[in-house]
Amino acid sequence: MFSSPRGTADILPEEAREWQWMEGIARDLCARYGYGEIRTPLFEHTELFHRGVGNATDIVEKEMYTFVDRSGRSLTLRPEGTAPVGRAYLEHHLNALAQPVKLYYVGSMFRYERPQAGRMREFHQFGVEVFGSASPLADVEVITLAHSFYEALGSRDTLIALNSIGCPQCRPRYLEALQEYYRPKIGGFCANCQRRLERNPLRLLDCKEEQCRRLSQDVPPIYDYLCSGCRAHFQQVQELLAASGLAFQLQPRLVRGLDYYTRTVFEFIHSALGAQDALGGGGRYDGLIEDLGGPPVPGVGFAMGLDRLLVVLRQSGRPGKAETDPQVCVLAFSGLEKEGFLLARQLRAAGLRVLQDFGERGLKAQMKWAGRTGAPWAVLLGPDEWQQQKVILRDLTAGGQEEVAREQIVPELCRRLGSAAGER
């Protein structure tokens, strides 16, 4: 007997309906905001993530599924979506289109982490990317899109944490200030932090180790170090969020675990999860496309883990489900299976969700099965009625049945199911 690999899960049909519902809301919102879907490969050249995500990040150092294929190329299962989408933007010359280019994706990502509730090794993300706009309006558009998504799902109490991490002009001064702050205390930090202090001191701010978090408590806030451009941008983002009626909290130590961010960074935190457990987040990445070998192109986006979101939705209410319940069961006496089969075809062509018994059991067993499917109606084909050009329409919810003319059964069921759907 096999089981699925640790950190992966099968999504069976009943649960898949929740995913379809959630993804449907994401797709609908993206269409309303003018984002087009992009589907990139599940694996990429490993170098893309070294350059796009950053060498001194947890993802690249510890969490990637990297393998050598039969031709000796190093490939990596995508651990995040932004670097692949940036790669596609460049490869297909999307910078030659009218800017900004607004894209979204929904799909699997892979990270080698310790599995826990809602944190899997194969996990699912919904993300958006805007390329070709440096405007604070773009930052706020992606934040409001994410917020609308949480709202549409019925997830309340989602807090927006906001920060700016500056730009290549002003960040070096801040990094120096961080190093000065950390150097005398570095003995108390974990081995990772000690190693990263000189190379990438920003990473010490989001280390998950308890001792490191405690020692980062009084770190100098970045605000005093922002250049005038970054300060004005940050100010405008805050004003636009306030004008949109979105509550947010400034979090001076929020830096996000990826190297490509510049200026705005944000996270969505749900009160049901711990403070370090964000539902999703993102930020501006004005240097990413250049890091990938392209021209300077500003960008901003977010990504959110859908697995964890579903866990939260199940705790705090009930996620919706895609509408896939069967509406009609077609049952036929022995000898009329073919006629039943053809009637089921007609009903489906009329837009109804129809199950048909394949005639491998008696009518009594068929009736029992029909009752278990949850379908509100059954159509029975009996030899006597069929001879008289009739079928039996049985109400599986209220009980009772009646005869209906054969040529009337399709419009009759459409009428009844149409009005039943309207009442719900």
Report in angstroms how near the CB of residue 191 gets to Zn ion at its nearest: 8
3-state secondary structure of 45: strand
- Length in residues, the chain: 424
Closer residue to Zn ion, CB minimum distance, 154 or 172: 172
Closer residue to Zn ion, CB minimum distance, 147 or 233: 233
Only one residue has tokens 């979105």, namely 246
Binding residue count for Zn ion, defined by CB under 5 A: 11
Sorted by sequence, the CB contacts under 8 Å of residue 124 that are 6+ apart come out as 19, 106, 107, 108, 109, 305, 306, 307
Only one residue has tokens 């999703």, namely 280
Only one residue has tokens 């964000």, namely 278
Subset of 108-167 contacting Zn ion (CB under 5 A): 166-167
Rounded CA gap, 240 and 105, in Å? 26
Helical (H) or strand (E) element with 303: strand 299-305
The pair phi, psi for residue 378, each rounded to 5°, is -125, 140
The pair phi, psi for residue 56, each rounded to 5°, is -95, 45
Report in angstroms how near the CB of residue 235 gets to Zn ion at its nearest: 13
Judged by CB under 5 A, does residue 175 bind Zn ion? no
Judged by CB under 5 A, does residue 193 bind Zn ion? yes
Q: In this chain, which of 55, 108, 169, 271 binds Zn ion, going by CB under 5 A?
A: 169
Judged by CB under 5 A, does residue 190 bind Zn ion? yes
Write the DSSP symbol of residue 219. P
Report in angstroms how near the CB of residue 288 gets to Zn ion at its nearest: 16
Report in angstroms how near the CB of residue 19 gets to Zn ion at its nearest: 35
Report in angstroms how near the CB of residue 166 gets to Zn ion at its nearest: 5
Q: Which two tokens stand for residue 285?
A: 């990445």
Q: Which two tokens stand for residue 305?
A: 């883990």
Binding flags for Zn ion, 207-226, as an x/- string (CB under 5 A): x-x--x--------------
Q: In this chain, which of 120, 230, 288, 331 binds Zn ion, going by CB under 5 A?
A: 230
Report in angstroms how near the CB of residue 153 gets to Zn ion at its nearest: 34
Q: Which stretch binds Zn ion (CB under 5 A): 136-144, 147-155, 184-192, 236-244?
A: 184-192
Query: What are the strands of the beta sheet with 43-45, ordered from one edge?
Result: 43-45, 74-77, 66-68
Report in angstroms how near the CB of residue 160 gets to Zn ion at its nearest: 22
Closer residue to Zn ion, CB minimum distance, 98 or 191: 191
> 162, 238 in Cβ contact below 8 A?
yes
Which residues form the interface with Zn ion (CB under 5 A)? 166-167, 169-170, 190, 193, 207, 209, 212, 227, 230
